[in-house]
Amino acid sequence: MSEWTISALAEAIRTRRISPVEITRACLERIERLDPQLKAFITVDAEGAMRAARAREADVAAGALRGPLHGVPLAYKDLCHVPGLPTTCGTLTREYFLGPRPCTAVSRLTAAGAITLGKLNMTELALGPFGENLHHGDPQNPWARGHVSGGSSSGSGVAVAAGLALGALGSDTGGSVRLPAACCGIVGLKPTYGRVSRAGVMPLSWSLDHIGPMARTVRDAALLLGVIAGHDPEDATTSHRPVPDYVAGLDVPLGAVRLGVPENYYFDRLDGQVTRAVESAIRVLEGLGAKVTPVHVPDPEIVSGCSNVLARSESAAIHVRVAKDRPHELQETVRLRIEVGYHVSAYDYLQAQRLRARLARELVADVFDKVDVLVVPTIPEPAPSYDAAKAGTAQERVQRMGRFSRLTRPFNGLGLPALSVPCGFSLDGRPLGLQIVGRPFAEARALRLGHAYEQAAGWTTRRPGAL
Amino acid sequence: MSEWTISALAEAIRTRRISPVEITRACLERIERLDPQLKAFITVDAEGAMRAARAREADVAAGALRGPLHGVPLAYKDLCHVPGLPTTCGTLTREYFLGPRPCTAVSRLTAAGAITLGKLNMTELALGPFGENLHHGDPQNPWARGHVSGGSSSGSGVAVAAGLALGALGSDTGGSVRLPAACCGIVGLKPTYGRVSRAGVMPLSWSLDHIGPMARTVRDAALLLGVIAGHDPEDATTSHRPVPDYVAGLDVPLGAVRLGVPENYYFDRLDGQVTRAVESAIRVLEGLGAKVTPVHVPDPEIVSGCSNVLARSESAAIHVRVAKDRPHELQETVRLRIEVGYHVSAYDYLQAQRLRARLARELVADVFDKVDVLVVPTIPEPAPSYDAAKAGTAQERVQRMGRFSRLTRPFNGLGLPALSVPCGFSLDGRPLGLQIVGRPFAEARALRLGHAYEQAAGWTTRRPGAL
């Protein structure tokens, strides 16, 4: 039961080889058995999930399928507002985020037939370092207990990797979809800014937040993206661009892809195991016909500096009530990260917006003129142990998280689509990730390349043992 | 020659009753004769205009009309970047604004056949109070010499009212299209935020800037808007909404328009002549079948407070080089308005953005649920004399301008389309203006109502004497 992909399951439900009730019950049983140790969920909605499963089963019997995810059990990071369920945002407050409207992405998945299992664990306000004590328990890396699962969508990574849910939504402001995907050996996609609605999701930073799918295979991520992408009148930042058929696009021949490998920044100070894994991934891609071109990218440290100004200012504005009136409710690291926002000037904020926009234009004009995608590592080292991640002062923990997310963060400020796919393991079996980064709205190309790599390399067929 | 409207002239050119060379020469002669006193132009491009006129004449002979403005001479506020002409932005620097790209709105007018006469006078950086000494001379109100013509698009108002150009572009950040339109007895439209591209135009405030047409009749404004409106890849804030045929829309029957007349703010502390003129305009509209509904609008002072925070912060970021390195080049009032921007916090900036967005949503939901348009005065008193406008300290002049623009400014922060049409005169013959404000992207409805009013009231057939 835990071996299903979304694509295979949806097909099996359509052809009545398995029923929505059967798979939902299996997921709930697995959650009940494994989650007390894994800590992926904050809220499990067994009753609601079973009710939905029976309704979807009735649909199947009536020959009335809702959509491509009919009967597929999913779960969502606990900052998505799903009517009827609490939204803690990783805090101890049951209803921290009471959006005026339901999460559009979840509503679209539900409309496509998906079943909601519950809400997934995350660091406090998605701002806490992922080694921090989580209010709802420390999510365990299914490949290496006692190790972090990445963050801030920590529970999303664990739930999918451990087969508790077939797919999940995460949010990604500096890497929070891709880091847990890489740490947990699954696929995670941060789409282009404006591709997926953020309506009904607690914001961290209006300029940098992205909602993205997390799943076991690239095909599953493509399937989820196709459902959640597209304009939403409730989110003015969403694009009107038509949404391509990402799944059909996977089987388009790859052709001679021009692969940009940055000479600067992205391969500096990596754990040697990461370097080796990504280098062999690039060789696999070359074997598929890709042509490697070394490229120089505009200084990612500057993009990250801009992002930091934006994220801090926007977080301060978003969380002002709790930060000013009830600061004791926040973890020290989270408070520190928000409070610095009150000291940023509007001038610096606006110049940071302009500078990152200019760097994005330059990157697209200069680099994506020469190459079709960039390939870089997702994480600079395998998932650290909780002992290592929790050590030191609050400031040290924040800095450590900054170093761990240094390869994902620039693509939030630049707004580019970035797919993380598993690319092997450390010697002791912790997963590693490869990022495939495209030009704006070129998700289809990144997914196609990721899919071809996945088929050739075979990493995504592996499952964590001992579950 | 000075009696033409754009619509009539374009038709006369199409039917070869007048040639582009003839009308262009007539405009240039009129400029040469009158502009030394009126001071509408900063740059007159006689040579370029005649060259274009001859080319458009050849097109006519060849039966190849470029578009609906074929052969129509226009002029542009001197913050539009038109290749080959200087762009002073009202400063003494010949090339103050060197946009990386030409002004999209001007390019579209040119592509539709318009001829560029030159660049129009404006207050310094469009930030100086319009009573301030203008570097390129004080534009004279064609209806009342010695009086201001409104601002900041001061020259645009004068050029159109005095028949030096058939139409003009202005920019409107707090009323700078509508104030000179009202002061000069012409029609001016601030479109919905996102309706008209600002690419190639010196920004004052990214959040509040709008480009709009100024012309003698509503029909002419509709014609110009139809050419310049629509998505522009060079301006990410432009909407993808289709552009309706505004001119054809003028003749759609009016039906029972629900006219909202605010009970609060917009009729407070007006000159009695303005109150009477606007009240009789409302009676004319009632005579056309409109039904008046008194409405309460969200406090416009709060919207203006938000706008002030946004405008100051954004101006500071835009003009940092001159404000920091060469402050002596700026007028005291302009320097004061920019410098305060460096002391705004990002927190206040972001909260101002959120608050004005919320007020806009509330206004649309609550007020535009009950009424189709709002009608309010454009200016609270007739155009003051230069003596009155120039009196007092820099601070006093800035405050005085703030009071004069208090009826236009809220619609910039709210992003709503606002049309100013002439609605009569003060006892001594200075023009007054009526604003017709619609819901977002409802320009067509405001234009239709303005056109019906104009036909019924007849004010726009009057011309200033003694020119």
List pLDDT tens digits, range A285-337.
999 999 999 999 999 999 999 999 999 999 999 999 898 898 998 999 999 89
The minimal CB distance from B349 to the residues A343, A346, A351 is found for: A346
List pLDDT tens digits, range A186-199.
999 999 999 999 99
Statement: residue A429 has pLDDT above 90: yes
Closest CA to A17 of A2, A37, A1: A1
Q: Please judge whether A350 and B313 are an interchain contact, meaning their C-beta atoms are less than 8 angstroms apart.
A: yes
List pLDDT tens digits, range A122-135.
999 999 888 787 89
pLDDT of B466:
64
Cβ-based neighbours of A46, under 8 Å, separated by 6 or more? A28
Statement: residue A465 has pLDDT above 90: no
**Residue B314, min C-alpha distance to chain A (Å):** 7
List pLDDT tens digits, range B266-306.
999 999 999 999 999 999 999 999 999 999 999 999 999 99
SS3 B406: coil
Strand A418-425, strand A431-438: pairing: antiparallel
Statement: residue B132 has pLDDT above 90: no
**Residue A313, min C-alpha distance to chain B (Å):** 6
Cα–Cα distance between B78 and A448 in angstroms, integer?
A: 49
Distances (CA, A) of B122 to A71, A407, B130: 64, 48, 8
Statement: residue B176 has pLDDT above 70: yes
Q: Which residues of A touch B317 (CB under 8 A)?
A: 346-347, 350-351, 354
Cα–Cα distance between B156 and B162 in angstroms, integer?
A: 10
Statement: residue B99 has pLDDT above 80: no
A213 residue type, one letter: P
Residue-level length of chain A:
467
ipTM higher than the 0.85 cut? yes
Average pLDDT, whole number, for chain B? 95
Per-residue pLDDT band for A1 (boundaries 50, 70, 90) equals low
Per-residue pLDDT band for B467 (boundaries 50, 70, 90) equals confident
**Residue A417, min C-alpha distance to chain B (Å):** 18
Per-residue pLDDT band for B134 (boundaries 50, 70, 90) equals confident
pLDDT of A353:
97
Per-residue pLDDT band for A265 (boundaries 50, 70, 90) equals very high
Complete DSSP assignment for A61-119: HHT---STTTT-EEEEETTB--TTS-B-TTSS-TBS---SS--HHHHHHHHTT-EEEEE
Of A91-100, B166-175, B292-301, B438-447, which range is least confident?
A: A91-100
List pLDDT tens digits, range B203-252.
999 999 999 999 999 999 999 999 999 999 999 999 999 999 999 999 99
List pLDDT tens digits, range B56-94.
999 999 999 999 999 999 999 999 999 999 999 999 999
pLDDT of B184:
98
A212 residue type, one letter: G
Q: Per-residue b/e over B201-229, b at no fewer than 16 CB within 10 Å?
A: bbbbbbbbbbbbbbbbbbbbbbbbbbbbb
Q: Does A343 touch chain B (CB under 8 A)?
A: yes
CA A111 to centroid of chain Cα atoms: 21
Q: Which residues of A touch B313 (CB under 8 A)?
A: 346-347, 349-350
The minimal CB distance from B347 to the residues A341, A351, A354 is found for: A341
Statement: residue A232 has pLDDT above 70: yes
Q: Please judge whether A317 and B350 are an interchain contact, meaning their C-beta atoms are less than 8 angstroms apart.
A: yes
Q: Please judge whether A350 and B317 are an interchain contact, meaning their C-beta atoms are less than 8 angstroms apart.
A: yes
Per-residue pLDDT band for A466 (boundaries 50, 70, 90) equals low
Mean pLDDT of B109-113: 98
Residue of A nearest to B315 (CA): A347
The distance in angstroms from the start CA to the end CA of chain B is 12
Cα–Cα distance between B261 and B265 in angstroms, integer?
A: 11
pLDDT of B173:
97
Strand B373-377, strand B258-262: pairing: parallel
CB B225 within 8 A of CB B191: yes
Q: Which residues of B touch A207 (CB under 8 A)?
A: none
pLDDT of B67:
98
Q: Does A291 touch chain B (CB under 8 A)?
A: no
Statement: residue A83 has pLDDT above 70: yes
Per-residue pLDDT band for A467 (boundaries 50, 70, 90) equals confident
List pLDDT tens digits, range A43-75.
999 999 999 999 999 999 999 999 999 999 999
Mean pLDDT of B384-407: 94
A56 residue type, one letter: R
Q: Is the pTM here over 0.90, yes or no? A: yes
